[in-house]
Amino acid sequence: MQYCLMAPDELEMIFLRQTYGVPHQHGGMLPSELLVFGSLCWIQEVDVIYESGRRFGYSTEVLSRFSVTKDIYSWDLTEQPRDKWLEKNCPNVILGIGDSTKYVGQDMVSISGRVALLIDGPKGPPAFEMFDKCKDEVVVCAIHDLSRRSEKKGVSGGQENMSRTTAEKRFNGCYLEGEDFVARYGYLDESAWRRDYNSREDMTRYGFSLGIFPGGKWRGA
């Protein structure tokens, strides 16, 4: 599934037109990651993105503006600071409040249409359990924070971070990273790294960490 690392030129143009200048929010995903994930949703004719973890809603807003799917269901554990703004300005976004891990399986069955899952909270093993619960029902699942570099940082919060190694063992997929990816799409992330990081070196350490895994409703090879 190497082609998932690329976005068709036409979609890149649409992405630039509709999302360029949306201010990056602290801790948010990177524009390059959202372009490629959104393009994949379009290629795979996804109707609904089911997002777990929106915090300030950067990913939610960008995917809403990109408009590659009919709706975006976006969950977070509690009400978030920009929820009212998102409700007012992003008509294709439906906000959910609560622990998405409790609903993910049953929600996938009740949503009509083709669903893509985007997990940016919880992280690591609970995210893998979530995908496992609904693997057969979704077209594709993207999980954030699976960079090899963060694994190399070693122990975090008393626990060794082995998320990337675990993901590679558990699921077939691909990861948005590498020099080719950065050379092709890194330009989109200039505004994000300027706001959130002290240097480009910081950004490449924490950024580019999206894993993409096909589910049971994936079409094609």
Q: Which is nearer to ligand SAM, 27 or 113 (CB)?
A: 27
Task: Please pick, from the candidates 19, 69, 100, 163, the single residue that binds ligand SAM as defined by CB under 6 A.
Answer: 100
Classify 154 in phi/psi space as left (phi over 0), alpha (psi -120 to 50) or beta.
left
Indicate which single residue of 76, 107, 137, 196 sits in contact with ligand SAM (rule: CB under 6 A): 76
> What single letter denotes the amino acid at residue 163?
S
Indicate the length of the chain as a whole number.
221
**Residue 124 found at the interface with ligand SAM (CB under 6 A):** no
Q: Please work out, in degrees rounded to the nearest 5, the angle formed at the alpha carbon of residue 17 by the alpha carbons of 13 and 21.
A: 125
Measured from the CB atom, the residue of 195 and 219 that comes closer to ligand SAM is 195
Q: Taking CA 164 as the corner, what is the angle to CA 210 and CA 139, rounded to the nearest 5 degrees? A: 50
Q: What percent helix, strand, coil does the chain show, rounded to 5?
A: 45, 15, 35
Q: Give the burial class of 182: count Cβ atoms within 10 A of its Cβ; 0-12 exposed, 13-18 middle, 19 or more buried.
A: middle
User: Is 75 near ligand SAM (CB under 6 A)?
Assistant: yes
Q: Kindly state the smallest distance separating residue 118's Cβ from ligand SAM, in Å.
A: 8
| Residue 57 vs 173, nearer CB to ligand SAM | 57
196 binds ligand SAM per the rule CB under 6 A: no
Query: CB 145 → ligand SAM: shortest distance, Å?
Result: 8
Among 18, 67, 101, 204, binds ligand SAM (CB under 6 A): 101
How is residue 11 annotated by DSSP?
A: H
The site string for ligand SAM over 47-66 (x = CB under 6 A, - otherwise) reads -----xxxxxxxx-------
Residue reference for tokens 């409700």: 87
User: Using CB under 6 A as the criterion, which residues of the chain lie in contact with ligand SAM when the complex forms?
Assistant: 25, 27-29, 52-59, 75-77, 99-101, 120-122
